[in-house]
Amino acid sequence: MNQFESYTAFEQGSLSCSNRYYSDYSTRIRSEDFQYLKEIALDERNEQFITLRSIRDGDLLCLGRYAGLVPLPSGNVLEILPKCFRGSDSNERARRSLLNMLTVSGILSVKNFSAIEQEILQRPLHYSIVHYFLLALERMVVQGISSSYSSRDEKRPVLRGKILVKKQLNEHTPLPQSFWTRAHEYSENRSENRVIRTCLDLIAPIARNHVNNRLMHLRSCFSEIPASNDPDADLLAWNHDRLMSHYSDVEPWCRLILLGTGSLLTGRNTLPGLLYPMERLFESYVGACLEKIAPDGFQVISQSTKWSLCIRNEQKLNTLRPDFVLRKSGLDSCVLDAKWKTQNELVEVASPDLLQLYAYGRHYLKGNGRMALLYPKTEGFRTNSDEILYTADPGLSLRCIPIDLETEPAALKAFLEETTS
């Protein structure tokens, strides 16, 4: 029996198939897997995910700003974890953080998330995804697989339903032994079930021994239902009425499995993986947290386009688009910008970030108010920075705030309460 491997790499790290030591963030993988990913990297359409770098002693594959899972044709699985946990010797925390970000952002549906089994988090990420998808599906199946009426055109030995005259006449048979008819059938072949069947097929290559029996049982439950020919259309057609309420916890997992890669990788080299752009995921996570902890009466405005840096012929140029603005009664009171960077307390804020926030503050806050740069919390950045004042506008201040990816960001909540009190 083949022994499959799970590789663990980090976002913006590298992959090699050599025994040679390249860096702290390089992961060694088998030659066959390296060659497969190398073909992916040679397609320029995939450069956001992976690129090829030639060095003196061979080739390196450099990963982009994506985290998630990539099942490989060999049966092995590549796990890519968020970069803010590189060097922390805590892959468990990295997995918990990624799952929490996906949950808070509304991509997943994990009830009692804090109760995730420690044993699962000690294993690569796909164990958690497969486990929770199957758990939600098992609960759904207990309540019953829903059926619906659908029309089906078929050549039948007996008359059933409406005869299709044109098709029947095209047979040119004087004494037909069968008839083209359209009948309405009550069956389990509906969009939701086709999506679930497709997801079960997709996770089969990355499932492992601990869930094989559960997976086999569920696949048998959906064995008579065909896989979806158009998963996007079937997802859009997902029914959310009261009679389908027991399907609600399964839908987010299906979206996760089907839409994780999205349209990033196309053509022959499309990866059947779950890949998430971490900059966008972090921004989505921060936005969801802000909606929960914003003080009463304040509205969270995302990607505001209220102001631009300049105007030419009454046309706005260089739109100033902060990630988040807190607004109350039409007045902007605070500007926040999320940065997916591994900030360090001992390192100065990058000049472009300071200038960007200054432009936001001059326009949205009229040069008087509080702003914040939001970075992921790391071992090197655990507490709020000292307040930064702009010399040209002393009433305009900026703080750098660490955002906890595992629990509610307490530092951000305290900053908002202080700013709006």
- What pLDDT, in 10s, does the model give residues 143-152? 999 987 766 6
Structure tokens at 207: 């499932």
Pick the CATH number of 294-420 from 3.40.50, 3.40.1350, 2.50.20, 1.20.1530: 3.40.1350
Residue 268 pLDDT more than 50?
no
CA 389-390-391 angle, 5° bins? 110
More confident residue, 120 or 300: 300
Give the pLDDT score at 23: 63
Kindly report the number of other CB atoms within 10 A of residue 380's CB atom.
15
Residue 259 pLDDT more than 70?
no
Task: Find which of 37-41, 101-105, 212-216, 288-292 is predicted with most confidence, using mean pLDDT.
Answer: 288-292
The Cα–Cα gap between 192 and 148 comes to 11
Integer CA distances (angstroms), 296 to 39, 327, 337, 385, 420, in order: 53, 11, 21, 26, 10
pLDDT bracket for residue 44 (50, 70, 90): confident
Give the lowest-confidence range in 32-36, 128-132, 269-273: 269-273
Kindly report the number of other CB atoms within 10 A of residue 311's CB atom.
10
| Per-residue pLDDT tens digits for 217-257 | 999 999 999 999 998 889 889 999 998 999 988 988 888 78
Average pLDDT over residues 292-298: 92
Residue 269 pLDDT more than 50?
no
Average pLDDT over residues 322-350: 88
215: which residues sit within 8 A by CB, 6+ positions away? 130, 134, 200, 203, 204, 207
Average pLDDT over residues 85-112: 81
Integer CA distances (angstroms), 67 to 9, 142, 208, in order: 9, 33, 21
**Phi/psi-derived region of residue 306, left when phi > 0, alpha when psi is between -120 and 50, beta in every other case:** alpha
Residue with tokens 């995302």: 302
What ranges do the domains of the chain cover?
Answer: 148-187, 294-420
pLDDT bracket for residue 271 (50, 70, 90): very low
The Cα–Cα gap between 65 and 83 comes to 8
Give the pLDDT score at 270: 46
Tell me whether strands 148-156 and 77-81 are parallel, antiparallel or unpaired.
unpaired
pLDDT bracket for residue 321 (50, 70, 90): very high
Integer CA distances (angstroms), 45 to 80, 106, 265, 270, 289, in order: 20, 28, 7, 10, 33
pLDDT bracket for residue 61 (50, 70, 90): very high
Average pLDDT over residues 315-338: 91
The Cα–Cα gap between 113 and 99 comes to 9
SS (H, E, C) 94-125: HHHHHHHHHHHCCCCCCCCHHHCCHHHHCCCH
β-sheet bridge partners, residue 80: 9, 68
Structure tokens at 111: 């009830």
